[in-house]
Structure 1
Amino acid sequence: MAETAAAPGSSTCLDRFTTIVGRVRDDLTHLDQLSGDGDFGANLSGGLLRARMRAQQTGGDGFTAAAEVFLDQVGGTSGPLFGLLFQHLGAVTTACPDGRRPAVPALAKALAQGTAAIRRVGGAGPGDRTLVDALLPAVAVLRGAGPDSETAVTDAALAAISGARRTDRMLGARGRSSYVGDKVLGVPDPGAIGVALLLVALSDIWEPQTAARLPAPGYIVQPSPAGT
């Protein structure tokens, strides 16, 4: 009997990201309460749940469904920015069997284009304490990886985690955190943490053997200990 081909799309990745965010939603909310409006956890988790429902209803690409939902329905500062990122990821995952990683150069290009779009819309640069501070290190790792690398996404996830965690040393230059001054010190930017969790989800699905060396999501979302 002929084996049925896997359906195209990134629904497995979307499912994994939705699950991770759901588990740390309260922690993301706490980070945003310390540095912003306090709505980031609810917006990200709720948007992902709606995106997963849309992907299931349409049978289409998971990230394409997420782009539509986040661009059209998710509010807050980060909602449309994540929508742009999902839009570019969907451009390379649409043609891939569900759960299979796109080619590394294509993935690097998509993430770079998503980052560029976010920077055009939001005006953020490196060091401004935004999701850009997690995206740029991840893009750099993917661009430097060989096309046959079997650990490129995991390495990019580690870079995104490090970049996101380093935002706890930055004063906000964009969004609500720019109004609270040095109260944000010691608190990583929730949008950057969200990007790091996305890369963790991609690594879990696309590189499960090496993803085991990534820190647990519950650690990634924690504020830094006092005095560090």
Structure 2
Amino acid sequence: MKKLVNDPRRVVREMLEGLADLNPGLALLDAEDVVVRAALPVPEHRPVAVLSGGGAGHEPAHAGYVGPGMLAGAIAGDVFTSPSVDAVLAGIRAAAGPRGALLVVKNYTGDRLNFGLAAALATAEGIPTKLVVVADDAALHETVAPERRRGIAGTVLVHKVAGAAAEAGLDLDAVLAEAEAASSAVVTMGVALGACTVPAAGVPGFALGEDEMELGLGIHGEQGVRRAPMAPADAIVATILDTLVADAGLREGDQVALLVNGLGGTPPMELSVVARAALAGLRDRGIAVPRGWAGNFMTALEMPGCSISLMRLDAARLARLDAPASAPAWPGGGMLAPRATVATPADPAPGHPEPGPLAPALRRVALAVAAALEAEEAALTALDSHAGDGDLGLSMARGAAAIRALPEGAFATPASALSAMAQALRRAIAGSSGPFYATALLRAAQVLGDRDADHAGWAEAFRQSVAAIGELGGARPGDRTMLDALHPAAEAFAATPASPAAAWDAALAAAQAGTAATATMRPRLGRAAYLGDRALGQPDAGAGAVLVWMQAIQRSLG
């Protein structure tokens, strides 16, 4: 287990200390793991205090939702363990006044017992305290009665509704009524792609194969309702939405708020893909989504996966979601509108000159280069993975497809062929390879222009294209880049005017020697430079790609 912790027995306290240090609007009780709003008014002037909490490991829940418009306080237990009665009671005493407190409790036995007893003790002390229990896990619809379902990420939306009601000055019974209605209006279902590791345990809670996922899990590292084969994101979202819509009884014309929640190990990229699919699936069902959020709201440590929550809306509940709140983890906003798209400006329509005598040969060579790059995709990926990010093979394959797609007219003359390939590669290849190859080909096209395609012209075009790459990227021979293959190749080609084939043979031999030499060069540019001596032992991937297309040209010339 590798985690950025000191002592698992102190991880919760140290986490809360860091949170309070970073957020001056929060205060930490000195003797309990409880966060409350800083600078609360005197008890007699306090509104109803909405508090929540539970085991740690769900960050940013629950302390991240302490602030005006949401929670007055949050109580943390050990990781995935309910806080003690004394801790909850201390939180009530610290945050509430005579108007009382509402405890938002997720439907787990430990939470219900400890928060429930604390509420009774606080009430006996003169602080009227009531509970609302959230049981939003729709995945359990065939397993347990509705009142015995788990409380999961939909709890965050209940925090927001209850907090806004309290901030508006409602009394305890009215805040409770709105919180209970919000709890009844929200459903959630999750999916996990792997397990998490509790610091005190040191091992993952379960094991999943590469082609497996867990559907319908809670937020404590446990397994789900069922294990299923891994599927694309759209299919996973469709499965979840089918369950949520049916369980909530949603119909065409209904309105919901959407919460796409990461479980701790899912990057924002994937959460946005899920949100896109969820919005599309709801709209296809005729269900309006005026508010939506995606991010980490209630996690399970570092578990990879997500959950989707839907809260049925009416005008009053929508107003509560829109009410101001300044808790550290609440993103606010959430207002949605149809996706805005703007037409992409098109490139000027290219004109092609009359085909010259080299047109068939130019196209034949270009297609041979494309075929070679496609055939070597896996090899280039493996080579790039040694010291780069492993995307070179895919980039070259995309470039090959772009070359194949060029019309025959693009190969009318050497200059038109080079220019057309430059534009195609610029659009098709991301990362550094696209700009480098596009710049080189454009420079070569400019050098050739309308001049005769003799050896001197080709040699000058080759030299200038190599120079253009160096000017764009700042590299020089010896820096362990594609220039270590291209520069000696251009020089050898210029020095061998006997015939095109002989000149290219000399160029290829020089490129091969230059590429081999990169295996012992310490990189000075690009991602490989970050590895230092760890990059040694394998040739540079960019130089290796140069060999692939140069060898294809050699075969075509032969």
2-side partners of 1:68 and 1:196: how far apart? 22
User: Percent identity between the aligned chains?
Assistant: 28
Question: Runs of 5+ in structure 1 lacking a partner?
Answer: 209-228
Q: Name the residue aligned to 2:467.
A: 116
2-side partners of 1:114 and 1:185: how far apart? 28
Q: 2:421 aligns with which of 66, 78, 84?
A: 66
2:438 is the alignment partner of 1:87: no
Change (3 A) 1:86 1:5: closer
Counterpart mapping for 1:92-171 below 5 A: 102-146=453-497, 148=499, 150-171=501-522
Structure 1 position 95, deviation (Å): 6.6
Task: State the one-letter code of the partner of 2:418.
Answer: F
Q: 2:375 aligns with which of 11, 23, 36?
A: 23
Q: Does the Cα contact within 8 Å between 2:444 and 2:464 map onto a contact in 1? A: no
More deviation, 13-22/79-88: 79-88
Look up the SS of the partner of 2:359 in the other structure. coil
Q: Name the residue aligned to 1:49.
A: 401
2-side partners of 1:116 and 1:89: how far apart? 10
Q: Which has the higher contact order (CA 8 A, sep 6+)?
A: 1
Larger radius of gyration: 2
Change (3 A) 1:135 1:20: same
1-side partners of 2:375 and 2:485: how far apart? 21
Q: Does the Cα contact within 8 Å between 2:518 and 2:540 map onto a contact in 1? A: yes
1-side partners of 2:422 and 2:391: how far apart? 19
1-side partners of 2:468 and 2:358: how far apart? 29
More deviation, 190-199/169-178: 190-199
Question: Runs of 5+ in structure 2 lacking a partner?
Answer: 1-354
Task: State the one-letter code of the partner of 1:139.
Answer: A
More deviation, 141-150/42-51: 141-150
> Higher helix share goes to which structure?
1
Look up the SS of the partner of 2:420 in the other structure. helix
2:547 is the alignment partner of 1:192: no
2-side partners of 1:133 and 1:62: how far apart? 25
Give the TM-score of the pair, scaled to structure 2: 0.33
Structure 1 position 65, deviation (Å): 2.3
2-side partners of 1:203 and 1:94: how far apart? 24
Structure 1 position 106, deviation (Å): 1.3
Task: State the one-letter code of the partner of 2:487.
Answer: L
Q: Name the residue aligned to 1:172.
A: 523
Q: Does the Cα contact within 8 Å between 1:32 and 1:38 map onto a contact in 2? A: yes
> Higher strand share goes to which structure?
2
Structure 1 position 64, deviation (Å): 2.5
Task: State the one-letter code of the partner of 1:190.
Answer: A
Change (3 A) 1:133 1:182: same
Give the TM-score of the pair, scaled to structure 1: 0.78
Look up the SS of the partner of 1:54 in the other structure. coil
